[in-house]
């Protein structure tokens, strides 16, 4: 590059006499600064764009790592730490639906029901046909004693999948809480038919007790105990119905066994 010079430069307008305009060292320095600033700005913009592209490429990876960490923490009941991991995951990847779902479950475990409802609602907004989110939000509404909202979610889950047993279980519990145990038995019976698991039998047995149908209740609690002989709940519940039908010895045996297991 030529060195700065104080030699004059010519400027000529057509038809006008030649005029020499002096170029000073200060003029040349300003010109160089302008060029340097332009180049520097361009470099910064290129680097910023490259950084954004890189961030977008690695954020999903970091989001998945945070999500996986949250799941591991959730499984060992470290719910507060799990929530922090799901916070990071959803901050890095706003459309990570399962991050909101799992964080909602962690909030439920910590009895932060309103927070859970917000997360389950976010899941439903992003995945409108998620039957699990409807049921889990419905149970959260039940904890808040908002039975109408819980019932609406149970019905919406069944609209998505008419054979979804957890939705019948939820609706049975809601209907029972609203004072119609006979109607609740119908839902629990449907749930048992679709998925004969421990909780479906227990909920139906408990509802039979409310109706005074203790022999039917005993049959259901037999199934509960068969699923999990190491849980005291089935023995205590069966003891109550055995006492109601006059089987005092059986009731006493169940009660003692339940207390023994409970004290272990």
Q: Is 26 exposed, middle or buried (0-12, 13-18, 19+ CB in 10 A)?
A: exposed
Distances (CA, A) of 262 to 45, 223, 241: 67, 19, 19
pLDDT at position 187: 98
d(CA 91, CA 158): 32
Question: Which domains does the chain show, CATH number per domain?
Answer: 58-126 (1.25.40.10), 129-195 (1.25.40.10), 214-264 (no CATH)
**Mean pLDDT for back-to-back runs of 10 residues, the chain (264 residues):** 48 53 60 59 47 47 90 95 94 93 96 97 96 98 97 98 98 98 98 98 98 98 96 97 97 96 86
Predicted pLDDT at 53: 47
pLDDT for res 241: 98
Note the pLDDT of residue 263.
87
Kindly state the tokens that stand for 47.
């680097």
Instruction: Give the span between the Cα atoms of 142 and 108, in whole angstroms.
Output: 12
Q: What is the pLDDT of residue 41?
A: 55
Instruction: Please report the pLDDT score of residue 56 as a whole number.
Output: 46
Q: What local confidence, expressed as pLDDT, does residue 226 receive?
A: 97
> In angstroms, rounded to a whole number, what is the distance separating the alpha carbons of residues 144 and 150?
9
d(CA 100, CA 116): 9
Q: Do 27 and 38 meet the contact criterion of CB atoms below 8 Å apart?
A: no
**Gap between the terminal Cα atoms of the chain:** 89
Q: What is the pLDDT of residue 57?
A: 42
pLDDT tens-digit series, residues 42-62: 544 544 444 434 344 445 788
The candidate with the shortest Cα–Cα distance to 138, out of 126, 156, 163, 164, is 156
pLDDT for position 252: 97
- Output the pLDDT for position 48: 46
């Amino acid at each position: 590059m030529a060195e700065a010079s104080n030699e004059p430069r010519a400027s000529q307008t057509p038809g006008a006499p030649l005029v020499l305009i002096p170029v000073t060292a200060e003029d040349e320095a300003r010109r160089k600064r302008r060029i340097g600033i332009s180049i520097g700005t361009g470099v910064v913009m290129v680097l910023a764009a490259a950084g954004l592209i890189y961030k977008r490429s690695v954020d999903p990876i970091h989001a998945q790592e945070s999500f996986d960490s949250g799941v591991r923490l959730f499984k060992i009941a470290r719910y507060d730490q799990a929530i922090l991991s799901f916070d990071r995951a959803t901050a890095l990847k706003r459309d990570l639906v399962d991050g909101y779902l799992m964080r909602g479950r962690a909030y439920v475990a910590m009895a932060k029901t309103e927070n859970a409802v917000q997360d389950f609602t976010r899941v439903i907004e992003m995945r409108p046909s998620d039957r699990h989110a409807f049921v889990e939000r419905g149970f959260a509404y039940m904890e808040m004693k908002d039975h109408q909202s819980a019932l609406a979610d149970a019905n919406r889950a069944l609209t998505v999948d008419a054979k979804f047993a957890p939705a019948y279980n939820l609706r049975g519990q809601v209907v029972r809480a609203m004072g119609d145990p006979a109607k609740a038995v119908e839902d629990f019976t449907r749930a048992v038919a679709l998925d004969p698991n421990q909780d479906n039998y227990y909920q139906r047995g408990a509802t039979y007790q409310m109706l005074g149908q203790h022999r039917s209740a005993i049959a259901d609690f037999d199934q509960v105990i068969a699923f999990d002989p190491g849980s005291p709940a089935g023995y205590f519940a069966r003891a109550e119905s055995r006492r109601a039908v006059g089987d005092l010895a059986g009731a006493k045996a169940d009660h003692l066994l339940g207390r023994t297991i409970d004290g272990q």
